[in-house]
Structure formats: C-alpha cells, structure tokens
Amino acid sequence: MINSFSKIRIISFDVDLTLTYSKKTDAFVFWSVLKKNGYPHIEFSKVKKAFSEANKIQEKKGYYWHNNAQKLAHFIQVFRLHRLGIPANKKLIDKINYQFANARNHSAYPDVIPTLEFLKKHNFTLAIVTNGIEPIIIDRLLSLHLLSYFSIIIAAATWKNKKPHPQPFQQLIKLAKLKGENILHIGDDPINDYQSAQTQGIKTILIDRTHKFVGSHYDSITDLTQLHTLFQSN
C-alpha cells in the first residue's frame, strides 16, 4: 500500500462502480433503449448474447487499443448492433449512447457519503475523473446528493480522449495546478483508472468491491471507508 499520504492535496474518484452502481444490468438498459428507438421486436435473450460476445472482444482488444478508447467503444457498439441485425450509423449510435447513459438507474454505495464527509473534514479537495457524459454525470451526482462534495469534474466524453488515454488525468493536473504526486485517484478499473493515472505520476488505489484482485500487485481496498484508516495511520 502507499507509504505516505503527506503530499496528497486532491483525491479524485471514478464514478461507475466506484461511487455509484446501477440496479439494472447494462444488457437490460440497452434492450429498453432499442425498444424506444424502433426495435421492439428484439428479444432480450439475443441482447444478452450480443453483450456477452462484445464483452469478450472488449476484454481482448482493450489492452491493444488503450490509447483510443473512443474507437474501441464505437467498434463494440457497431458489433452489438450488427449481431442484432440492426444497421449501425453514427447518428443512431450517438443517440443510443446518450439514452443508455441516461436510462441507468443508479444508487450511491453506502460507504460513499461517510468517506466524502471524512475527506472534506480533513481538508482534501475532491474531484471526479470519469468517462461519462458531463450533463448526465452532474445530474446523477446531484440526484444522489453528491455533487456538492466535488470541486473539479472531468467527464472525458466531453474531451477528445477517454481513459485510459492520459488526457483526462493531464487535465486534472492542469486544473488543480499541482503535480501528479499531490493527487490520489481511486477507481475500479485496473487499466482505465489504476494504470492510466500512474502514467501521470498520480498515486492510485483500486477499489475492489468484489474482491476480484485480492492478493494481486495492485494497491487496493474493498470498501471506501478503509481510506479512513489509511489516512489516520499516516
């Protein structure tokens, strides 16, 4: 685990599966969005299969396309639509992407507000670094009473490149007017969050809520409240 937090001034968080989670599966939300866009005949079982096949490709290709996450995301969406027999075009994909992000019903994990309260009490500046769409992320944080905790919000869909491209973290360093060593980033993705932030000199902790990476080389926690102990012991 990180030896010292004495230089940390800003703590940034990813959003999905770090601060919030969806009560609906992505396949179900995608299916619902398709029905709204003129494809009510598509069976849910076929959508689940298309998602499963696309996820396998994404896991494999993600390591090779890490500098062009948007290209990969577009490829995956085209793949899903083709598997479902739906002609893919940019207008439809953009529409589906926006509606998909907006349709997911999110809740905050129980450890989120106590941790944010603890960090604010100890005078840390808090930030968001996510691949989400800015208006949707802001609306979600606002509805969950989280928005007021954060001074900086970087929604990479607004920028040219998404994580794991370093641009979102470069933007964080620029806005914070600090060095990477003064920032701690916490996220759930080993590539998008952990490795990407480290390339910019940012300290990182993986939030491993499902205990998937226990015993690995990652500095990780399984609950955000573990940060309380880490900071109090430094």
Instruction: Say if residue 2's pLDDT is above 70.
Output: no
Of the ranges 26-30, 54-58, 85-89, 182-186, which one carries the lowest mean pLDDT score?
54-58
Do the beta carbons of residue 28 and residue 145 sit within 8 Å?
no
Q: What average pLDDT is seen over the chain?
A: 90
SS3 category, 203: strand
Kindly list the strands in the beta sheet with 125-130, ordered across the sheet, starting from the edge strand earlier in the chain: 152-155, 125-130, 10-13, 183-187, 203-207, 220-221
Do the beta carbons of residue 130 and residue 15 sit within 8 Å?
yes
Give pTM, 2 decimals: 0.80
* Helix ranges (DSSP H) in 104-194: 112-121, 134-143, 167-176
- Per-residue model confidence (pLDDT) at position 63: 43
- Per-residue model confidence (pLDDT) at position 137: 92
Q: Locate 147 and state its tokens.
A: 């928005």
- CATH topology for 10-22+106-232? Rossmann fold (3.40.50)
pLDDT digits (tens, 9 = 90+) for 62-93: 544 545 666 777 888 999 999 999 999 999 99
For residue 180, the one-letter residue type is G
Structural domain boundaries of the chain?
A: 10-22+106-232, 26-103
- Which residues lie below 8 Å from residue 11, measured CB to CB, with a gap of 6+? 119, 124, 125, 126, 127, 183, 184, 185, 186
For residue 65, the one-letter residue type is W
Instruction: Say if residue 135's pLDDT is above 70.
Output: yes
H-helix or E-strand spanning residue 20: strand 20-22
